């Protein structure tokens, strides 16, 4: 079946530290991969995506590369800010159509000044 595993939080970092949130997946076929961010009390916002192997998604200083050989889509940012404090969800869409996303459990990030 399809599943997403991401590192458990919470992750606490100082401002300007380097961030990595690991995400690995299991899927049949060729899924699309996503990172969503959820700020406190809000819904999910698409952060970045990649639709095929070796694609790199990037947005707001965050990036993630679709690694088929390691079935991974790790999220990275070189220098985090307090405003990046949120919950980050890794997700996959197992097909190219309108199918439900499969989510990881989420990783809570807290950035302190």
Partner 1 sequence: GAVVSQHPSRVICKSGTSVKIECRSLDFQATTMFWYRQFPKQSLMLMATSNEGSKATYEQGVEKDKFLINHASLTLSTLTVTSAHPEDSSFYICSASGGSQETQYFGPGTRLLVL
Where on the chain is the footprint of partner 1 (CB under 8 A)? Answer: 32, 34, 36, 41-46, 49, 51, 89, 93, 95-98, 100-101, 103-106, 108
Q: Which residues pair with 111 in a beta bridge?
A: 13
Q: Least distance from C-beta 42 to partner 1, angstroms?
A: 6
Q: Least distance from C-beta 85 to partner 1, angstroms?
A: 14
Question: Which residue, 77 or 89, is less far from partner 1 as judged by CB?
Answer: 89
Q: Least distance from C-beta 78 to partner 1, angstroms?
A: 24
Q: How far is CA 71 from CA 14, 53, 64, 74, 88, in A?
A: 29, 9, 12, 10, 18
Q: Least distance from C-beta 18 to partner 1, angstroms?
A: 25
Closest CA to 56 of 38, 74, 31: 74
Burial of 43 (0-12, 13-18, 19+ CB in 10 A): exposed
DSSP 79: S
Question: Which residue, 51 or 71, is less far from partner 1 as judged by CB?
Answer: 51
């Amino acid at each position: 079946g399809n599943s997403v595993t991401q590192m458990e939080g919470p992750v606490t970092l100082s401002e300007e530290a380097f961030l990595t949130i690991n995400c690995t997946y299991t899927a049949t076929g060729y899924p699309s991969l996503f990172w969503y961010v959820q700020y406190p009390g809000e819904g999910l916002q698409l952060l970045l995506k990649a639709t095929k192997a070796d694609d790199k998604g990037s947005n707001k200083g965050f990036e993630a590369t679709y690694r088929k050989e390691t079935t991974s889509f790790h999220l990275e940012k070189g220098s985090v800010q307090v405003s990046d404090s949120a919950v980050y969800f890794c997700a996959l869409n197992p097909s190219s159509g309108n199918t439900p996303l499969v989510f990881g459990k989420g990783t809570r990030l807290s950035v302190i000044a």
